[in-house]
Structure 1
Amino acid sequence: MAAEAKAKMLEKVQNQDGFIAALDQSGGSTPKALKLYGLDESAWSSDEEMFDLVHQMRTRIITSPAFNGERILGAILFENTLDRYVEGEYSSRYLWKEKQVVPFLKVDKGLADEAKGVQLMKPMPELGKLLSKANDQGVFGTKMRSVIKQANAEGIREVVAQQFEVASHIMAAGLVPIIEPEVDIHCPDKAEAEALLKQDILAELDSLSTAQKVMLKLTLPEEDNFYRDCIEHGNVVRVVALSGGYSREEANQRLSRNHGMIASFSRALTEGLSAQQSDEDFNATLDATIESIYQASKS
């Protein structure tokens, strides 16, 4: 990607009001996303047909007049979406060229089995090849998710170490990683887990060079403004919040109390959208949703 385009994307993500749209449901979460959209499993008979349907859903969202760079800073795509087209352009290029929305790519391969109260990321043997493809298609950054289910200090340390280790390869490839160590909203000792997580994240951030830039995607915390130190850290481009299973209303309320955090919602973004809606109803619903998330992100 041209240095000029990358600089414009960085400026937008770092400084503009708005939020990141998470459109990266992958293999395991796609049937659930389609069901919420009004399409049950009888609507497809193979994985390819399922991914065709979810791409149609995403295309409908991305091409909607409500979806543009005025309120949406970036969008996270799944690799299958990266390989597909929107109105004749690669999805990632369409986002930036037509909508002024910065493209990100989900690079993790899913979660390992739970151990020490956490789920690490599965190995990513093809990461180098995927980062090369992302660069070729004008992608700005990446996203990868781990999950914390208990306040286990050792497990949390392993999650953060793995995230920053993979992030070092992503930064070396010239991309900005979104580090996502999600704390499960049903974690019985969520506040304690968040305290351990923040301590480990700050230690890793302090070890980066000035030139190394990351983003953080974190569960909305129990204590308002808990991640202020991360938001203000010199190596952090932006701290974004995941909705994590909260309803959109609750996610927006929690987000509006955490100043400097912006949304990166997935299910909460598509809540209320349906394959059966007319374009007029679909666009009106999406517009109202985007506006509510935008306002919560501005707080």
Structure 2
Amino acid sequence: MLVPKTLIRHLIKCSLSVRTYSSALKSANLSEVCVDSLKGNDSGIIVLGLNRPKARNALGKTIVSELTDLLENLKHLDDARVVILRSLVPGVFCAGADLKERLEMKEDEVLPFVNRLRFIVKSTESLPMPVIAALDGLAVGGGFEMALGCDIIVASNTCKMGLVETKVGILPGAGGTQKLPRLVGPAFAKELIFTARTISGVEAYERGIVNYVVEQNEHNDAAYQKSLAVARSILPNAPVGIRMAKKAINKSMDVDINTGYTIEEACYAQVISTKDRIEGLAAFREKRPPKFTGS
């Protein structure tokens, strides 16, 4: 379906306009998610740490509520350049849905809660800045689906991941049946979902699911350390350019290529009047590193 150029330009321009105000997201420890706004040379990197050790970061009501609120705040945070989603619990990223809580839910409560899990994945995917998932341990079910909502995934070689919901009588409901086939093709996605098989970080890399696989270290944070390195390589580049590039890619994935070209044109139009574009040209002329401000 072809989308009129004028409509695409309007949508892109409106989405950029949310950046007209700033808010401050300070480092904070909520009950099950820790927020760390890095400082110094790492200023602009926001780390969200899942921290529910007794339940292996299972997605219960509290952690889902906290993630939902944090993602909404991040959406409007101008000075957030990169977000890293990690676990503070050794050996596990996220064990998926909290089935103990699920057992206590009434039948008519289940679908609205699953919809909230899908909303988290969609909110992560639609954040304007790049999001990196650092998988230093088990990522299954909803935990794997959260990772699939990120732009870049880094996994340790000891990490296991998969969509295992059919083992407990359900199916992936937070985007897994949609995201995974688009990454690996329907045949392999069906195999993983039908068999509920988990795969290693190495196999995930070979299949193109993760961007990097790293050997785990003695601190069990090798994927996080690599994610930091990737985030640091993003920081020097123009924030508006990165955000518009992400939008151009995301919005074009499910349209024909000519509509995609139009989306790219609309996104490019948004950077022409920025100070960062002028700064980039000046830095090139003067043979110096650019100093981008995100404006």
Q: Give TM-score scaled by structure 1 length.
A: 0.32
Between Structure 1 and Structure 2, the one with more helix by share is 2
Q: Larger radius of gyration, structure 1 or 2? A: 2
Q: Which has the higher contact order (CA 8 A, sep 6+)?
A: 1
Q: Give TM-score scaled by structure 2 length.
A: 0.33
